[in-house]
Structure formats: C-alpha cells, structure tokens
Structure 1
Amino acid sequence: MHNASDPLSGSGSAVTVDELLVADPADAWVRAGFTVDDGSVCRVGGVAVRLIARDRGTGIVGWSLGGLPHASVDDVDGVPTTAPIGAAATSAHHPNGVVAIDHVVLMSPDLSRTVEALGRIGVEPRRTRDAELGGRPIRQVFFRMGEVIVEVVGSPDATSEGPSTLWGITYTVADVDATASFFGDRTGPVKDAVQPGRRITTLRHHDLGMSVRSAMISARR
C-alpha cells in the first residue's frame, strides 16, 4: 500500500522504465539467483533486464522507456534510450528472493542538466535529499518512472562534462534476511536503510561475475 504522504508513492509520470540493457553474461546472473529466460532476459517485476554479455562494455549500458513523448528520443543526458518493443515484462520467480526493482541510480556530472533532460521527456522530480558519499557532499534527486524510482546523484554545486551513467540497481526482496542467507559471504551485513523501517544489504557483485552494483532492500511498509 502506498503512503499518501510519500512523494515517491503513486505511479508518477507517464514515462516508465521498461527495460535495462546490461553488459553481463547470463550465467553470472544465474549464479546470483536470478531466473534468466530465453538465454538473455531476466524479468524483475515489470522490468526486463536484457543481458548482452560484454559486447558493449560493462554495467548498465542503456534503457528502454515506455510512454516517451517523442518517438525520436534516443538519448537522455547521455544514456542510450529506445522505445520498448512488445508487451511489458511479467515478473519471474527468482531463487534469491527478488520481487521487483526498487530504484535505479543514475550518476550525473551536472545535476541541473540531467534534471532538465528528464523534464524534456515529461519526468519531473518528486523529492530532493542532500547527503554525503565518501566524505563529499552529494545531492539525490528522485523521480518516479512507473514502478521504478530513478535516483539521480551528483554534486550539489560542481559540474563537469560527460554523460550521465546508469550506475546501479537496488532490488526489493520478500525477506531480506533470507536473501542475505542465500548469498552468504557474497553480501554485506544487513543494516537499517536510509528509508525508515526498511533494511538493506549490498551484494558483492564482482564475486559473482556481475558488473552492476547491486543492493537488496526489504519491501516498503
């Protein structure tokens, strides 16, 4: 159930994250307890994670967005972008306990530029939070894109050239302690998350041959 006082609750914009393109081998994700269909597609909630081995580098190398206002959109602040083809994903069962994607982190070298780029496709910020990362101040700007939250992270006052990059994924799990037990020493300790009432653990993704930074968080209350 959504909390009406939570600015990130609800469906958000008409634009939705439908697919993430990941330059990882499928067998790495199978080792991590994900179900992979047709040799390359991992269906998590309503999002398809398409695995393309290392043909285009590493990490999340692009996304497909539903509900785009312009069919010609092929880039969102440097992130390769396509319109989805076919029906939305239907979630698979994953032995690691993952049930959905909670949020995707988008690292920005220029927060204002990235927020403006998202605004041009009809996506507006829902919340802003100032924090620290490695002792440096950061600003987090949150957007709701369908069932997925997109967390844009960057410096609050410094800018640089270059594209924004899709940096990592946090998954919602049915039971965070069971998920941590499944991974054993390939995940960090379960601890309280920034989000009140939720708990989180960080996956040691490199140990599994994955290139995407990944965390597992308990469900929203």
Structure 2
Amino acid sequence: MGNNEFQLLQLTIGGVSTSAWSSAGFEVMELPSGESVCQLGSVQLLFDPTYRRGIAGAAVNGMSGTIDSLEFGEITNSTSSGINAYPPSVHPNGVTRIDHLVVTTADCDRTTLALEASGIHSRNVRTFGDDGAKMRQTFFWLGDVILELVGPDQSEANGQAIFWGLALISENLQATADYLGERCTPVKPAVQQGRKITTIKTREIGITTSLAVMSPHTKTD
C-alpha cells in the first residue's frame, strides 16, 4: 500500500457523455453545483465537457503543476465539498475502485525523473518484449492507487507523457463481464499471476478513456 501523503483524489474526464458511462454500469451522480461525478473507491471522476477527451488532469495530495506535460492540480472549490459526499460503493457493473492509472510516455527516464522530483518514487520496474522493441513499466503509489508508467525501454524523441487510461477492480469479474456482455472482451488471464482481466469496448459505447477491469489482487501481489 502506498503513502497517503500522495493520495490520488480526483481525475478530470473530458470529452464525455455521462450517459455512456451510465450505460456501462457506472453510477454517475450530480453534485449540488451541477457537476457530474462518479466515485470509484477513494477517487472521484469529475466529468468536464470543456476538455476534449480522455483524462485531462489529476488531483493528488501534495502535488501540483505540470509534471512532464501531466497536469496535476488541486480540487476545485466547487467540488471540494462534494468529493466525499458519496461513500465508495459497488457500481451496478460490479466495479468497486481503481487499481491503477496508466500513463504512457516516449521517454521513461525523463518522466520517471520528473515524478520522483515531485516526491513520489518508483516501487518496481519491469521490462518486457523483444530486444528490438522492449517496453518498460514503472510503478508508483498514489495512496491506494498505482500509477503505472509505460513506454519504450530505449527513449524516443518528441513524445509527451499522457494520462492514458484506468484499470478498475471488480470483486466478481465474470459477473461484471456478464453484465457488460458485448460491451467488453472475454475474460482472460492478466499479466499479473493469478489475476484476470477484461477490456471495456469504450469506443463503441462513447467513452473516451481506455478502461479495463481486473479481478482483485492475490495475496502474493
């Protein structure tokens, strides 16, 4: 478990129709301010149509500003009072929380150094793939959420780091897949030993953020 000093609190989601999230079994709520949110464990998704698409930014305790092109900001006044207004719950699709936030980069060394300069430090590094196209995964803790940094093991020029997508957790993954039906891929073994995964077909249902759902961590994780 990570250090709560850098707990991920909120993700701003752009370019969305909240009805698309609802159709995939996520409970979307409206705050008194009129803003639409979705609570995933300790993290609130704030839907903001003024952003074009995907994950536009993150709010993390102890972090602010632009970190290697990744936008980290504070909770806005209009949502700060509502961020804990709704307790974590099981969504109709069975999802309970975020397992990890995926960031892609063309330069793993550069982005890792920028994140570590902000105070969070890598906990594990993994490489995979052929020598000619080897990839690297670097893992950081943002409280109870993992930040997974993915990119080529050998840095490439002229590429920014971006918030790419989310891996979520369901306590009963097969039930989640049954609920989603044709809106997700068949359940299959995940890279992590003992876990399984399905990918939500976000493009087909109008969600601009890549989403996967996984079974819970095993005791050996």
TM-score range, shorter chain: 0.7 to 0.9
Distance 2:3 2:133 in 1: 30
C-alpha contact (below 8 Å) 2:134/2:154 kept by paired residues: no
- State which of 108, 133, 138 in structure 2 corresponds to 1:136: 133
C-alpha contact (below 8 Å) 1:13/1:124 kept by paired residues: no
- The structure whose residues are more often helix, as a share, is 2
C-alpha contact (below 8 Å) 2:164/2:209 kept by paired residues: yes
Q: Under a length normalisation based on structure 2, what TM-score does the superposition of the two structures give?
A: 0.88
C-alpha contact (below 8 Å) 1:65/1:83 kept by paired residues: yes
- Give the 3-state SS of the residue equivalent to 1:61 in structure 2: strand
Distance 1:43 1:83 in 2: 17
| Pairing of 1:155-194 with structure 2 (within 5 A) | 155-194=152-191
- State which of 6, 9, 31 in structure 2 corresponds to 1:15: 6
- State which of 14, 17, 35 in structure 1 corresponds to 2:27: 35
C-alpha contact (below 8 Å) 2:38/2:45 kept by paired residues: yes
* Map of 1:3 onto structure 2: none
* Map of 2:59 onto structure 1: 64
Matched AA of 1:37: M
- State which of 101, 106, 112 in structure 1 corresponds to 2:103: 106
Matched AA of 1:27: S
Residue 197 of structure 1 and its aligned partner are, at CA, apart by 1.1
Residue 194 of structure 1 and its aligned partner are, at CA, apart by 1.1
Q: Could you say what the CA RMSD is over the residues aligned between the two structures, in angstroms?
A: 1.7
Q: Say how many residue pairs are matched.
A: 206
C-alpha contact (below 8 Å) 2:2/2:145 kept by paired residues: no
Matched AA of 1:61: A
Residue 213 of structure 1 and its aligned partner are, at CA, apart by 0.7
Gaps in structure 2 of 5+ consecutive residues: none
Matched AA of 1:113: R
C-alpha contact (below 8 Å) 1:25/1:52 kept by paired residues: no
Q: CA 1:97/1:81 → structure 2, altered by over 3 Å: closer, same or farther?
A: same
Identity of aligned residues (%): 33
| Pairing of 1:24-103 with structure 2 (within 5 A) | 24-38=16-30, 40-53=36-49, 55-68=50-63, 73-85=64-76, 86=80, 89=84, 90-103=87-100
Residue 164 of structure 1 and its aligned partner are, at CA, apart by 0.7
Residue 51 of structure 1 and its aligned partner are, at CA, apart by 0.9
Of residues 89-98 and 165-174 in structure 1, the stretch that sits farther from structure 2 once superposed is: 89-98
| Pairing of 1:180-219 with structure 2 (within 5 A) | 180-219=177-216
C-alpha contact (below 8 Å) 1:104/1:169 kept by paired residues: yes
Of residues 85-94 and 199-208 in structure 1, the stretch that sits farther from structure 2 once superposed is: 85-94
